[in-house]
Each structure stands twice: as C-alpha cells, then as structure tokens.
Amino acid sequence: MALKAYWGRRIASSLLVLAVVLVLNFFLFRILPGDPVSAIIDPRFSPQAKEELAALFGLDRPMGEQFLLYVKQMLTFNFGVSFLSQRPVWDEIRSRLPNTLILLSSAMAISALLGIYLGVIAAAKRGGFIERLVLWAGAISFSFPSFFIQLVMLLLFAFAMPIFPLRGSVSIPPPPPGWPAMIDYIWHMVLPVSSLVILGFGSWALYVRNLMVKVLGEDFVFLARAKGLPQRLILWRHAFRSILPPIVTIIFLSLPGVVSGAVITETVFSLHGVGRFLLESVTGQDYPAAGAAFFLLALLTVICNLLADLAYGFVDPRIGLERKMER
C-alpha cells in the first residue's frame, strides 16, 4: 500500500508540473513585447493585411478561447501550424529530431562512459596522472561556457586548419546516398559531438571519482581486500556497484539539461536540429512552435524523473527488498 501511495503522489505531482508548464507556456510568450504578426509580415503591409493574418492564425480570438485550443493541441500532440514556416509544427520537429538525437545520444554516451571509467581509475590511483587529469577536466567543465569552447574549436579545426566543415550537417552539393552520405554526415558531426564530450566528461569523472573515494574507505572494501580479491574485481564488482544508484539517477535527470543544451550547440554549428528550432521560434514569437518545444521538454523532464525512481529498484537491491516486505 505504501508503494502504491508513493507512486500515486509522484504521478499526481508530475501531472501538476505539466499543468503549470501549460499555463506558463501560454501566457509567458504572449506577454513578451511585440507580436508574431509583426515578426512575420512586411512592416509596409497595411493594417488590414495584419488583421487578416492575425485572424488566419486565430490570434483575434478571446484569450480564454485561445488557451483552451492551445491545451487541446498540446494534449493531443496536434501542435498546429508554425507562424514562420507555415508548416505543421510536428513536421518541423520530426524533420529535425534525428540530428538532435544523434548529437545528444552520442555525446552523452561517450561523456558518461569515458567519465565513469576515468573517475573509477582516478579514485583507485590517488595522486596519479589520471586523477590530475580528472581534476583539471572537471575544472574546465565548470569554468568555461559551452559556446566559448565550441567557437574555439571552430576557429582551430574548421577555419585555421580546415579539417572539419565550418557549418551544417551535410555538404553542398550533397554526396550520393549510401556510404558517402554516411561518411559525410559523420564528418560534419565530429566537431559538435567532440565539443560536448570535452565539456561533459570532466564533470562525470569528477562526480564518480568523489563517490568512489568515499566508497573505497568503507568496511566492505577492506574486507574484500583482506580476502585477497583482485583489485579490478574490488573496483568494478564491489565498489562501483554500490554507487550505481546515484549514477543512474544523474543519467536520467541530466537528459533534459542535455536537450536544452542543444540550443547553443546547434546554433554555433548551424545544425538542423530541434534546439536551433526552439531558439528561432522564441526569437520569432512563433507561439505554436515554441509552446510545443517547451511542452515536450517538460514532458521529457517528468518522464525522466519517474524513470529515475523506477530504475532505483533495479540497481539498488535494498529498495527491491523493501518492496517485497511491503507486499
């Protein structure tokens, strides 16, 4: 019963968060200075033309009617038509989503795996080169803004030494389909992914290193060493396994932040992705597109929070035992 009550409270709070996001999304964009009609129409057009365009987009309706229509569109994932591109918002997001998913999933996987490995090794070999590398990488991750590192990489490897392309995700003219197109795409994504890895692996390594340093001083680690177990077995099967719950939680909770970080990366490297689309929608006062993007980001955040709670039961045997005792 306690477990059901807990999940009931978690789901109810998640629905409340989504409701607040819906209200804020609708009203915040409409209190910004200016209006979307002025952003997408030539200022030399007559006032009558502006009124007709506002009627076409439903902006002449009462605010309450606009809000109800907006809520219906969000809950049914029918996000309407973009003011700027005149295309359905879902089509715009769907066409850009593969680039964003490939960029973020590749960068996050490499950052997490590299950071976790270096963090474990740094904790095992205190005072060595790996630990100094982890401390320096962690300091760099927290000291420089992401756009600065990315602009420096563009300047060095795309302008001064033109090894990689300066912008975009495909060459112009595009290569023939098949392996040439795939190689060209990977060539364009090397710099964006590498910049996110450089910015991300240090914080992962520092976090894991601090957790491991504390765990390696626990009694069960001393017992494993007294039994004569190999160092590799002690590190990965005993010590690392005990810090899996917080690592899994951080993985799920960092996903929304990684997605929002795509705004800067895709803008700097001129990638055709959801992050850049979100920035263009906000600056262009494209209500349907911006509202849809923020709603999907909030939905992703809520889902990741629930998945983090659910994953705890799989990586922490104590929680699984508590659930069995409650039954």
**Residues 103, 71: one domain?**
no
Question: Got the DSSP string for 285-302?
Answer: T-HHHHHHHHHHHHHHHH
- H or E segment at 66? helix 63-75
Q: Are residues 107 and 68 part of one domain?
A: no
Q: What pLDDT score does 321 carry?
A: 44
Check whether residue 170 and residue 262 sit in a common domain. yes
Q: What is the pLDDT of residue 149?
A: 86
15 and 105 both lie in a single domain: no
C-beta of residue 153 within 8 angstroms of C-beta of residue 191: yes
Q: Does 49 reside within a domain?
A: yes
Reported pTM: 0.78
In this predicted structure, what is the pLDDT of residue 285?
A: 74
User: Which residues face 81 on adjacent strands?
Assistant: 88
> 52 and 122 share a domain?
no
Query: Is residue 142 domain-resident?
Result: yes
Domain with residue 151: its CATH number is: 1.10.3720.10
Is the domain of 58 the same as that of 165?
Answer: no
Same-domain status, 162 and 38: no
Q: Which of 88, 22, 92, 83 is nearest to 58 (CA)?
A: 83
Residue 314 has a pLDDT of 63
Please indicate, yes or no, whether residues 31 and 134 belong to a single structural domain of this protein: no
Q: Which phi and psi (to 5°) does residue 88 adopt?
A: -55, 135
Same domain for 184 and 71: no
- Tell me, yes or no, whether 307 lies in a domain: yes
What token pair was written down for 315?
A: 């990586």
Handedness of CA 8, 14, 15, 17 (dihedral sign): positive
What is the structure's pLDDT at 181? 86
Range of the domain at 210: 95-326
Peptide bond into 173 cis (omega under 30): yes
Count how many domains the chain has: 2
Which residues of the chain, if any, have pLDDT below 50? 321-326
